[in-house]
Structure 1
Amino acid sequence: MYKHMYTVENEVFAAFLFYGALVLLKMIAMSPITIAHRLALDNFMNWEDTKLFNDPDPEKRKRALVPNDNVNRVKRAHANDIENIVPFLILGLMYVAVKPELGLAVWLFKAFAISRYAHTVVYLLRFPQPSRLLAFLVGFGVNVLMACEVIRKLYTTVYVGLLLSLVEALAIVDCSTMSVYSLENEAFAALVKYGGLALLKTVAMSPITIFYRIKYNSVPTPEDAAVRAGNDEELKKKFLAKNDEVERVRSAHQNDIENVFPFVLLALLYIGISPDPGTASFIFKIFAGSRVAHTVSYLGKLPQPSRALCFAAGMAVNTYMAIEIFKKMFFGL
């Protein structure tokens, strides 16, 4: 019997490693695919990049900076990967910790990997909707199921051993005598609870964006517009125009990605220094509450500094944890 959950002797973790590596490889590959499209279509983001033309004509270089739909399509596919694969990897680690049934776990990991590859293929090859939507929903459903199962298992007495090798490598705690990554540790239990809620909220921003796109008749691609407008070219243009309300939701989603993912990773390391459970639970609760409040104030258009204060609260939690980790590692405080 394996000593800890995070070893290849655990078949669930081994399956997670395999399918996690597959989707990470696909996500990493999107960068060179984007570069290839830029070079093929002479389309760049920055003025200095246009020097690749070896052409002194400034007008030609300016035209190369005009957004290109084919390049933007690859970038959107890449962004969608980040919005879904990163939560999958974090939630997958938590899911492995609660000892799921092997058959179900492998099925979920496999379904997610297939859905992400399918999503990119139908996106780049411009398959008609709802092909891309269905591919997205499969991966989204896997993330939601794992998050709900992790939160549900929080209230059980199942032993959880998490990331011991990482903690030992950092020489933060002696994992041979105890596991701080156990539901018996109140600090870790609080992270699973509030970190899971923050991740679930981040994942939920995708269907909220879809709802706003439907509500305000704003879509990102021509095939999406064709579903709503048929062959009416003028109506397609209206559907493809950017909408301020949709962009507001997308900005809130991006802000979640920029803050929730660092929080979860920092919190895992913070747990490793054996913080006071009461303090840890308090700051995790503050962070989760701040992210929910941030989205509410953003989408509800509450006057500033309401959104700024919510953002500052979450940033303060991340900063505090980072400082505490460095103090422990470098000064032994």
Structure 2
Amino acid sequence: MIELSLNNPVIQAYIVHSTILAGKLLLMSILTAAVRITLKVFPNPEDASFLRGKVKFGDPTVERVRRAHRNDLENIPAFWILAAFYLTINPSAAWAIMFFRVYTACRIVHTLVYVIPVPQPSRAITFGIAYAIKMCMAAQIILYYITSISFIFYSGVLGAKMLFMSFLTARQRYRKNVFANEEDAKAKKGVVKFDDQDVERVRRAHLNDLENIPAFWVLGALYLTTGPSAATAITLFRVYAAGRILHTIVYAVTPIRQPARAIAFGVPMLISLFMGAKVATHYLADM
């Protein structure tokens, strides 16, 4: 395992590039606000009244920036977690630093060619390279920890699962030949459409992952600090990962009538709440 020291250049590279990506995420909110103010279109009446604009939803320029922001939210948090776990497997310093640099550069360029916009395949290339880097790290994490069946192993599995959702969404878009951006539709001779039922079903499943899995990463890591039984902790992590995978299968891959999805959602939710309660009660005495 790598020496977790702030003097380690790999750790330093991770911190620097993670901070850059966090700053980029924050700037996307400012960019969205700037575009709204420039165009004088707002989602709330009080904003429109204060800035002498109008309430309007679906403005193509605003929505393009918001889609670029959502793409960051779907991808950058997974990088933070996967890269942090990747550090624990003692990777080659040269490879790790290169991964962090290339990933950060690709995410920045991805936003630039998304917002401007630039014709495809510019956005596809930048997204694909960054995506491949995360999948490579996830695969190495899973292979390294597969014999120990630990929190990091299941976190790697869930990270790879979240990445797979982007691929599944793209597959549905190409299958139905419907896209969210004009340059995509033009490149594939498709149509711009935002309400295709099959695409939106996969996107909802992806959003559900984004609403739940990052919380598991945090709560699971904190739960380990409370000194739980190894058997109990491993069971919780195993059942949680299985539940989230089944949730996607019955939601987006092969839709099954309820309560299949409710059960697949509810069991992992109860595990997260249980771990959260354990963490809170454990540290309550120190408050």
Q: Which residue of 2 aligns with 1:17?
A: 15
Report the alpha carbon displacement of residue 70 of structure 1 after superposing the two structures with TM.
0.5
Cα shift readout 1:156-205 (whole Å, capped 9, x = no counterpart)? 7xxxxxxxxxxxxxxxxxxxxxxxxxxxxx6xx52112121111101110
Name which of 292, 295, 305 aligns with 2:245: 292
Q: Which residue of 2 aligns with 1:124?
A: 115
Q: Which residue of 1 aligns with 2:105?
A: 114
Aligned length: 285
What is the rounded CA distance, in whole Å, between the counterparts of 2:51 and 2:69 in structure 1?
A: 25
Amino acid at match of 2:105: I
What is the rounded CA distance, in whole Å, between the counterparts of 1:308 and 1:79 in structure 2?
A: 26
Higher relative contact order (CA 8 A, sep 6+): 1
Amino acid at match of 1:243: D
The answer to whether structure 1 residue 305 and structure 2 residue 265 are counterparts is no
Q: Which residue of 2 aligns with 1:147?
A: 138
Report the alpha carbon displacement of residue 241 of structure 1 after superposing the two structures with TM.
4.8
Amino acid at match of 1:139: A
What is the rounded CA distance, in whole Å, between the counterparts of 1:48 and 1:97 in structure 2?
A: 49
Q: Which residue of 2 aligns with 1:26?
A: 24
What is the rounded CA distance, in whole Å, between the counterparts of 2:104 and 2:85 in structure 1?
A: 18
Report the alpha carbon displacement of residue 53 of structure 1 after superposing the two structures with TM.
3.5
Question: In the alignment, is the contact (CA less than 8 A) between 1:218 and 1:243 conserved in 2?
Answer: yes
Cα shift readout 1:88-144 (whole Å, capped 9, x = no counterpart)? 000111011111110000111111001100100000111001110110011111111
What is the rounded CA distance, in whole Å, between the counterparts of 1:247 and 1:49 in structure 2?
A: 29
Report the alpha carbon displacement of residue 48 of structure 1 after superposing the two structures with TM.
2.5
Identity among equivalent positions (%) equals 31
Cα shift readout 1:220-265 (whole Å, capped 9, x = no counterpart)? 1111111122xxxxxx6x4435311001101100100110011011
The answer to whether structure 1 residue 244 and structure 2 residue 214 are counterparts is no
What is the rounded CA distance, in whole Å, between the counterparts of 2:48 and 2:10 in structure 1?
A: 48
Report the alpha carbon displacement of residue 12 of structure 1 after superposing the two structures with TM.
1.0
Cα shift readout 1:54-88 (whole Å, capped 9, x = no counterpart)? 4xxxxx73xx3232010001101011011111000
Question: In the alignment, is the contact (CA less than 8 A) between 1:87 and 1:199 conserved in 2?
Answer: yes
The answer to whether structure 1 residue 99 and structure 2 residue 90 are counterparts is yes
Structure 1: gaps spanning 5 or more residues: 55-59, 157-185, 230-235
- Structure 2-normalised TM-score? 0.95
The answer to whether structure 1 residue 138 and structure 2 residue 129 are counterparts is yes
Name which of 144, 162, 171 aligns with 1:211: 171
Which secondary structure state, in structure 2, belongs to the residue aligned with residue 127 of structure 1? coil
Amino acid at match of 1:71: V
Q: Which residue of 2 aligns with 1:181?
A: none
Question: In the alignment, is the contact (CA less than 8 A) between 1:5 and 1:13 conserved in 2?
Answer: no
Question: In the alignment, is the contact (CA less than 8 A) between 2:2 and 2:88 conserved in 1?
Answer: no
